Structure 1
Amino acid sequence: MSNVIKIAIVDDNSFLINAIKEKLSFFEDIQFKYSAGNGKEIIQKLEQDKNIDVILMDIEMPVMNGIEATLEIKKRYPQIKIIMLTVFDNDENIFNAIKAGADGYLLKEVDPNGLYQGILETLSGGAAMTPSIALKTLKLLRNPIDFEIVDKEVEEVKLTTREIEVLEQLSKGLSYSVIAENLFLSPSTVRKHIENIYSKLQVHSKLEAVQKAKRNNLI
């Protein structure tokens, strides 16, 4: 490893990207290379320049979330360390991030020194974790079965062919009106299909619906 640590930041909130950059600006051996607004964009940027040591990755993002991006990046560039940097510390996110190959998991409220030490620890082969995350991870290791039960329940959900078509369009980030036009439906019919999808998958947002559908091979 060279003396300079090359960093990329992935977050759909430009204000938070600047806040992270500001935290890292205190450390002379940190070099910010570039940022991306979602998982798909960071993968495209890595194709152009994969000379990155650490990626600080948000979880909840449009187009492709941080967990999906982590899985893909780890397949292509296993040498790049990925630290999830998020406001979310729920058990399912932690579980899925670790399964995807994340090297660390810090909350965005981490102070500059904590973030810097987490980066150094990860590059040294450790796993940077906010204490509360580490505690949750231990609990998950002791009782890993919960999410398998959740996934099994979702797998048993059946969507109609039309609902799957709507969900596929939704996963591309298209608006209701564009989906309606593409599928020759009225916007109100599209909205009704999406309500049915939310109900069947037991989710409350577009992102959750797409994540669960992909995880269970519905789309």
Structure 2
Amino acid sequence: MPIRIAIVDDNINLLRSISQNLSNFEEVTIVFKAMNGQDAVSLAGTEHPEVILMDIEMPEMDGIEATRIIKTKFPDIKIIMVTVFDRDDKIFEAIKAGASGYLMKDEKPSRIVAAIEEAIEGGAPMSPTIALKTLQMLRQQVVVGETVVQNIESVSSPEVFNLSKREFEILEKIAEGITYQQIGDKLFISAKTVRKHIEHIYEKLQVHTRFDAVKIGQQNHWF
């Protein structure tokens, strides 16, 4: 079953563009579109999307306030901010409001679909620039234990994590930011099988998101 999504943006051209681009992916189906936060709150209760792509600056009610209300009323709905703002204060406010992820509007459609899938799995998808800013904010507040850093940096081979050849191939595809269906097509396996392999990858790497899995690979120069 495709993932039920909604798109909220006050720019009619961007709303139309994102809708058209995502409609080409069978992994998702658009259940509603809205141009302000107030309409998003109302429609969320009647259309029951699984994921909402939410703009920030909008009339009547902005995306952060809409996110806060929707997460209070419907905590199971995942909300990904899709915006042009990469300011620290907006990122922090969105996270506090309950956003599950934060993407820039210039992301490729395939990356947006991958982020939707990641959010459904309980992950926190972010554009690279946003992830870096988030890490910088965390570093200002939290001192990372030396032991943890050494454990991450001392591992240099996928075999140490017991990754199979197929799992490593899928991890490489994850790093490309493509969808489960596209990974399956490239490796001649079903999307369902891809999901199962990714579950095993997360378990072996002891992570919960694509970002964290790819980060371990990058730190160890696997790709």
Q: TM-score w.r.t. structure 1 length?
A: 0.63
Shift of 1:23: 2.0
Q: Secondary structure at the match of 1:143?
A: helix
Please tell me whether the aligned partners of residues 13 and 37 of structure 1 are also in contact (alpha carbons under 8 angstroms): yes
* CA displacement 1:120-175 (0-9 Å, x = unmatched): 11111111100000000011112259xxxxxxxxxxxxxxxxxxxxxxxxxxxxxx
Q: Secondary structure at the match of 1:127?
A: coil
CA RMSD of aligned residues (A): 1.4
Shift of 1:28: 1.0
The 5-angstrom pairing of residues 1-219 of structure 1 reads: 3-49=1-47, 51-143=48-140
Matched residue type, 1:18: R
Please tell me whether the aligned partners of residues 23 and 111 of structure 1 are also in contact (alpha carbons under 8 angstroms): no
Please tell me whether the aligned partners of residues 104 and 129 of structure 1 are also in contact (alpha carbons under 8 angstroms): yes
| Structure 2 stretches lacking a partner, 5+ long | 143-223
Q: Secondary structure at the match of 1:27?
A: coil
Shift of 1:45: 1.4
The percentage of counterpart residues that share the same residue type is 51
* CA displacement 1:170-211 (0-9 Å, x = unmatched): xxxxxxxxxxxxxxxxxxxxxxxxxxxxxxxxxxxxxxxxxx
Using a 3 Å threshold, how does the CA distance of structure 1 residues 72 and 114 change in structure 2: closer, same or farther?
same
* CA displacement 1:1-21 (0-9 Å, x = unmatched): xx2111111111111111111
Matched residue type, 2:64: I
Matched residue type, 1:23: N
Shift of 1:48: 2.6
Matched residue type, 1:142: R
Shift of 1:69: 0.6
* CA displacement 1:95-116 (0-9 Å, x = unmatched): 1000111000000100011111
What CA distance in whole angstroms lies between the structure 1 residues aligned with 2:46 and 2:118?
27
Number of equivalenced pairs: 142
Aligned match of 1:169:
none
Q: Which has the larger radius of gyration?
A: 1
What CA distance in whole angstroms lies between the structure 2 residues aligned with 1:117 and 1:42?
22
| Structure 1 stretches lacking a partner, 5+ long | 146-219
* CA displacement 1:59-115 (0-9 Å, x = unmatched): 001111000111110000000000000011111100100011100000010001111
